[in-house]
Amino acid sequence: MTSLVPRAPYSKEELEKLYPKGLELQLVQVPTLWVKKAATDVNSNSIGERSPVSSRFQNAGLTPYWPYCNVARSLASMAATTEDLSKWDSFQWRRKIEQFGSHDQARIAVGPEAESDGICTLGELTDLGRQSTYALGTRLRRLYVDQLGFMPKIRSDTGDMYLRATPIPRALESLQQAFWGMYPSNARTADFTTPTIVSRTPAEETLFPNEGNCHRFRQLARMFAQRAADTWNDSEEMTYLNSVLGKWMPPGSPRIKVDSRPRLSGIMDTINATFVHGPQTRLPSEFYDPKVREHCDKIATNEWFAGYKESKEYRKLGIGALMGDVVDRMVSAAVEGGWRPKIDDSSSSSSSSSSREGDDEAVKFALSGCHDTTIAAILTSLGGFENGKWPSFTSNIAIELFRVTDKKKLQHERQAGDILEELKDPIKNNSTDKTSSPSFFSFLTDRKASTTTTKPTPSAIARTPLSALPPLRNHYVRIRYNDVPVRIPGCATSPAKHLDGDETFCTLEAFKEIVDKFTPADWREECGRNTEGGMFEEGREPAGY
């Protein structure tokens, strides 16, 4: 992993090819960022450069405390100023890090040149990380605001945006920096409404592969990690790593292995974090040997992400719930003109579940603060990460939804849809299937209050099978990873499933069909299944089809 070197803004000619006439952008979703109208969803390692998540290699001269977090010089929190909590004010404060001294006495931690201010905690977004995620926001503004005119230049609220971050502080901070880059102070009105950022409890978080709260996924991750150890620990690549770096391993773990202490992936984490920061926190030069970095990347990527490529269950529990949400938003945008976050979709009261805080504005842009493991999991599960390297800091995915507006393309879509219907298994659409689970249209018919509209309610769309939905033939999905379109094999190999002349545009139907195969019906319940099973309890299936 390194710092992402962004490409130059798209030229006019590139834009015309990437965003062809006859297709209207509807929704964007981006991890780090998500966007929709038709839909754009941008997911990114929205995490920028950070300090290592653990202190390692002090024996190689690396200081455990990094002086790259100057935001700590001026932190702010809210505090009540009256006993009855009727008034609040900003509490300004500075942070210092304290540590054990040589005899366990308390002492202030300092950086390599005795700095006591601006010291980072482990895994914290550094000043460089804030710069890179802010720069990501400016690139999003350049494309979606300035060049495409998809999002407004000036805004007074975030009613058409969905902002979400994982519980990890650096994810929230990266999201905030990216939003600030997309809408700096001169692009917000004086009465700009405080934006809402959505979060989940760790037990329900699906914006990253949640090993800590999904027992079966944790089992599978350990099985694939053990397979990687069995494959790589005695390999030529590992022998080379030990010949160059072995002398820096701690006495209790003299040999580098996939499962050594520190693990190879942890060693790579420290190498990458030090490589992108200043000379004050550099390791000896052999850690940056190109072959060392190449071997670390190849082995760690295999350990962490091969499961998504091979196992449907791994995809389902690791990233399937998130991708199910992504598809649900796009289907809502296609079928009913927009997706609106719900306050409580289990409530019987329509007034309490219709939208966010009573706001009925459809989301056009979804921006999420997530992680490198999110990015690679999405790409690998869709078959778009062949020979991929570990995502760089501030890597990002944009999942864009388009609606066909050109009459010729609409005709092509109808013809392609007819071909798809002929290819479908007739058993899938027989009367037994339709009576065993109510169809989408029967749900609408049964609703007494919906006789004046043909639009489905948002709650009816979530996790609805493709066979129960109205035709989605006039919509396409395209993924861009670090500004490069991604080819999904299940779409690219069939002319009826992609845009004529461009294999990177999937039909929404084809995209949903692929994602539905690894979308769990009940993530929490399925996290408790197959706990006595092996690596491929639910089959060994290639990703992206």
What pTM did the predictor assign?
0.85
| pLDDT over 70 percentage in the chain | 83
Q: How confident is the model at residue 2 (pLDDT cuts 50, 70, 90)?
A: low
DSSP lists the bridge partners of residue 540 as 311
Q: How far apart are CA 512 and CA 518, in angstroms?
A: 10
3-state SS string for 270-283? HHHHHHCCCHHHCC
Kindly state the average pLDDT of the residues 410-432: 44
332-346, 406-420, 464-478, 490-504: which range is least confident on average?
406-420
Give which of 408, 403, 416 is closest to 496, Cα–Cα.
416
Is 116 a residue whose pLDDT tops 70? Answer: yes
Checking if the pLDDT of 419 tops 60, the result is no
Mean pLDDT of 103-130: 91
How far apart (Å, rounded) are the C-alpha atoms in residues 186 and 84? 37
pLDDT tens per residue, range 454-493: 444 444 688 899 888 888 889 999 999 999 999 999 999 9
**What is the distance, to the nearest Å, from the Cα of residue 256 to the centroid of all Cα atoms in its chain?**
30
Can you read off the two tokens belonging to residue 228? Answer: 């990687």
Per-residue confidence (pLDDT) for residue 135, from 0 to 100: 93
Dist CA 348 CA 452 (whole Å): 20
User: What is d(CA 400, CA 79) in angstroms, rounded to the nearest whole number?
Assistant: 41
Check: CB of residue 43 under 8 Å from CB of residue 375: yes
pLDDT tens digits along 240-298: 999 999 999 998 888 999 999 999 999 999 999 999 998 999 999 999 999 999 999 99
> Of residues 411 and 429, which shows the higher confidence score?
411
In this model, does residue 517 exceed pLDDT 50?
yes
CB neighbour list of residue 150: distance below 8 Å, 6 or more residues apart: 25, 28, 35, 37, 40, 144, 364, 365
Output the pLDDT for position 458. Answer: 45
> What is the SS3 assignment for 36?
strand
Render pLDDT for 352-366 as a digit per residue (tens, 0 to 9). Answer: 334 444 457 899 999
267-283 tens-digit pLDDT: 999 999 999 998 999 99
User: CA dihedral in degrees (43, 44, 47, 52; nearest 10)?
Assistant: 120
User: What pLDDT was estimated at residue 432?
Assistant: 33
Residue recorded with tokens 């190999």: 493
**How far apart are the C-alpha atoms of 263 and 463, rounded to whole Å?**
38
- What pLDDT shows up at residue 453? 40
For 433-438, the CB contacts below 8 A with 24+ separation are 433/467, 437/465, 437/468, 438/468
Tell me the average pLDDT across 489-513.
95
How many other C-beta atoms lie within 10 A of the C-beta of residue 251?
Answer: 6
In terms of Cα–Cα distance, which of 267, 210, 353 is closest to 53?
Answer: 267
427 has a pLDDT exceeding 70? no
In the block, residue with structure tokens 């294999």 = 503
Q: On the CB side of 318, how many CA atoms lie within 13 Å of its CA?
A: 29
Which helix (H) or strand (E) segment holds residue 413: the answer is helix 407-423
pLDDT of residue 102 exceeding 70: yes
Q: Quick one: pLDDT at residue 286?
A: 96
Neighbours of 222 (CB within 10 A): 12
Q: What pLDDT does 388 receive?
A: 84
Question: Which range among 147-156, 339-348, 467-476 has the greatest average pLDDT?
Answer: 147-156
Distance CA 492, CA 384 (A): 11
Taking the CB of residue 16, how many other CB atoms lie within 10 A of it?
11
Contact 336, 36 (CB under 8 A): no
Give the span between the Cα atoms of 283 and 57, in whole angstroms: 8
Q: What is the CA radius of gyration of the chain?
A: 25
Biggest alpha carbon distance in the chain? 79
Q: Are 274 and 285 in contact (CB under 8 A)?
A: no
The topology (CATH level 3) of 1-52+126-431+475-545 is Rossmann fold (3.40.50)
For residues 44-61, give the mean pLDDT. Answer: 80
Answer whether residue 101 shows pLDDT above 90: no
Q: Average pLDDT in the 233-241 region?
A: 97
- List, in order, residues 6 or more apart from 320 with CB less than 8 Å away: 381, 515, 518, 519, 520, 523
Quick one: pLDDT at residue 6? 76
Annotated domain spans of the chain: 1-52+126-431+475-545
pLDDT, the chain, mean: 85
- pLDDT (0 to 100) of residue 252: 83
C-beta neighbour count of 147 within 10 angstroms = 15
- Ramachandran region of residue 338, left (φ > 0), alpha (ψ -120 to 50) or beta? left
pLDDT at 241: 97
Token pair belonging to 69: 């977090």
DSSP string for 117-177: SSPPPTT-B-HHHHHHHHHHHHHHIIIIIIIS--S-SSBS--TTEEEEE-SSHHHHHHHHH
At residue 218, the pLDDT reads: 97
* Phi, psi (rounded to 5 degrees) for 247: -65, -15
Round to whole Å and give the CA distance between 26 and 339. 11
- Give the separation between CA 270 and CA 266, rounded to whole angstroms: 6
